[in-house]
């Protein structure tokens, strides 16, 4: 089979060079080498020797080339990528993509088109870089009913929170974000990463292949890390927790709960040890129990490794039943309601800045008790003249109930500013 690469940026160049470097090893696995017959790119990459490859400046030339069997889409973005992939499918070409936004937002349309044409669409590289998490769930967990998924699936956010934690409170979110941008871990506009959009795209894909439900990016509750302060990091540590930005999905029978937000994770849990730009995903199956997958979540070669593994799969299984793009027979996909975040039950960390006056804690306790919310842990410190920090760990409570209580607490005369709320990840009750 002949391969065409669309895009020669960081991931595209890594894919091109890794194919050249390891083609003899690939041949040992599939009985043939991968032939890069054409590359579509706006400009050549300085690290790629394209002297023996047909190069075009129009990526659509690649998908229209009758000699190309597999199209590797690594141009990024959504609109042009969607048009490119759909045209490749209409021209009876298999597709490998690293584009998580494309699959999360237009995957259903793409999968239907691929099924109708009898071609494969692979997207291992779209989630968690070099970690083979898509294959692990789709193939390794095939005998299981997958019950839940919890993961650190955005390296930028994890780097920021890790550095804030390691600094012992001396570095703020803004400080560490600037550092991440200088190191190339965060974009000049970091919104997709720090507001949770990137993680939500990835969780959409993981949920679909785990639970056999259509892709529903629009239904995921998403919250970023921009409001996390060094005080929150410190108080969480005192209570035995580390703050992590997690994607969480749970199969609840007729419904699915999906959410991306900061969480307090018990300091002795495996995910609390995942630091820097690394990613990790924990999958709970009814037979296998919890299994954890850890590795580089981004980068040229880790992502290229995942892309080439998909190419190898296509070469091995060409002509097989194609509806396994999402790991389930097309007729077996079950539309499930995605529950609103208000219907989720969890414990919470609350931080209030209150007047340092007698009776304030009694009034706070009264409001919580009116909504059947109990206090499991409490820290109170005189943080500034005339005010105190109060940090509360609640019992497990329905989110919409906690919302009402938090709004009442925020309107108290003794409470300064809004009440800070961070959810707690109780890993086997998510």
**From 202, 244, 336, 420, active-site residue:** 202
**374 is annotated as contributing to ligand binding:** no
- Give the integer Cα–Cα distance in Å for 323 and 328: 7
Q: Decide if 248 contacts 196 (C-beta within 8 A).
A: no
Q: Decide if 165 contacts 140 (C-beta within 8 A).
A: no
Q: Which helix (H) or strand (E) holds 6?
A: strand 2-6
- Give the integer Cα–Cα distance in Å for 147 and 430: 10
Burial of 372 per CB tally in 10 Å (0-12, 13-18, 19+): exposed
Q: Where are the alpha helices (DSSP H) in 65-196?
A: 79-90, 100-117, 133-135, 155-166, 173-183, 191-194
**8 is annotated as contributing to ligand binding:** yes
**416 is annotated as contributing to ligand binding:** no
Residue count (the chain): 430
Burial of 36 per CB tally in 10 Å (0-12, 13-18, 19+): buried
**10 is annotated as contributing to ligand binding:** yes
**7 is annotated as contributing to ligand binding:** yes
Question: Taking Cα atoms as reference points, which of 271, 314, 260 lies closest to residue 121?
Answer: 314
- Give the integer Cα–Cα distance in Å for 269 and 363: 35
**12 is annotated as contributing to ligand binding:** yes
**6 is annotated as contributing to ligand binding:** yes
Contacts of 301 (CB under 8 A, 6+ apart): 14, 18, 130
- Give the integer Cα–Cα distance in Å for 245 and 236: 14
Contacts of 30 (CB under 8 A, 6+ apart): 312, 315, 316
Q: Decide if 26 contacts 61 (C-beta within 8 A).
A: no
**9 is annotated as contributing to ligand binding:** yes
Active site residue 244: no
Instruction: Check residue 34 and report its DSSP letter.
Output: -
- Give the integer Cα–Cα distance in Å for 140 and 197: 27
Bridge partners, residue 259, by sequence: 221, 248
Taking CA 344 as the corner, what is the angle to CA 338 and CA 349, rounded to the nearest 5 degrees?
A: 140
Q: Which residues are annotated as a binding site for NADPH?
A: 100
Q: Active-site positions?
A: 202
Q: Which residues are annotated as a binding site for NADP(+)?
A: 6-13
């Amino acid at each position: 089979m002949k391969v065409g690469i669309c895009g020669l940026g960081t991931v595209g160049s890594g894919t091109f060079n890794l194919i050249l470097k390891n083609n003899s090893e690939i041949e040992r696995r599939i009985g043939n080498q991968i032939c890069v017959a054409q590359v579509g790119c706006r400009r050549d990459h300085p690290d790629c020797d394209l002297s023996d490859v047909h190069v075009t400046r129009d990526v659509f030339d690649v998908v229209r080339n009758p000699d190309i069997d597999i199209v590797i889409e690594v141009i990024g973005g959504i609109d042009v990528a969607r048009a490119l992939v759909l045209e490749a499918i209409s021209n009876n070409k298999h597709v490998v993509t690293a584009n998580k936004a494309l699959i999360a937002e237009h995957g259903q349309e793409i999968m239907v088109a691929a099924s109708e044409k009898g071609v494969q669409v692979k997207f291992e590289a779209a989630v968690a870089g070099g970690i083979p998490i898509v294959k692990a769930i789709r193939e390794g967990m095939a005998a299981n009913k997958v019950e839940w998924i919890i993961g650190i699936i955005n390296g930028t956010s994890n780097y920021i929170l890790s550095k804030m934690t390691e600094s012992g409170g001396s570095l703020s979110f803004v400080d560490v974000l600037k550092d991440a941008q200088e190191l190339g871990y965060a974009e000049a506009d970091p919104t997709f990463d720090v507001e949770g959009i990137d993680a939500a795209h990835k969780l959409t894909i993981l949920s679909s292949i785990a639970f056999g439900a259509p892709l529903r990016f629009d239904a995921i509750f998403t919250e970023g890390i921009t409001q996390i302060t060094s005080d929150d990091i410190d108080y969480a540590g005192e209570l035995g927790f580390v703050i992590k930005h997690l994607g969480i999905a749970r199969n609840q029978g007729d419904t699915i709960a999906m959410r991306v937000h900061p969480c307090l994770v018990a300091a002795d849990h495996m995910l609390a040890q995942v630091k820097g730009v690394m990613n990790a995903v924990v999958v709970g199956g009814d037979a296998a129990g919890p299994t954890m997958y850890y590795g580089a979540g981004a980068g040229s070669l880790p992502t290229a490794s995942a892309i080439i593994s998909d190419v190898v799969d296509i070469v091995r299984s060409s002509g097989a039943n194609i509806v396994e793009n999402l790991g389930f027979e097309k007729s077996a996909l079950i539309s499930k309601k995605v529950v609103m975040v208000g219907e989720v039950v969890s414990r919470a960390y609350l931080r209030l800045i209150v007047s340092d006056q007698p009776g304030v804690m009694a009034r706070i306790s009264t409001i919580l008790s009116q909504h059947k919310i109990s206090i499991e842990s409490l820290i109170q410190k005189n943080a500034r003249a005339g005010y105190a920090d109060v940090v509360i760990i609640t019992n497990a409570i329905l989110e919409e109930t906690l919302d009402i209580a938090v709004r009442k607490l925020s309107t108290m005369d003794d409470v300064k500013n809004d009440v800070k709320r961070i959810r707690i990840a109780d890993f086997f009750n998510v």
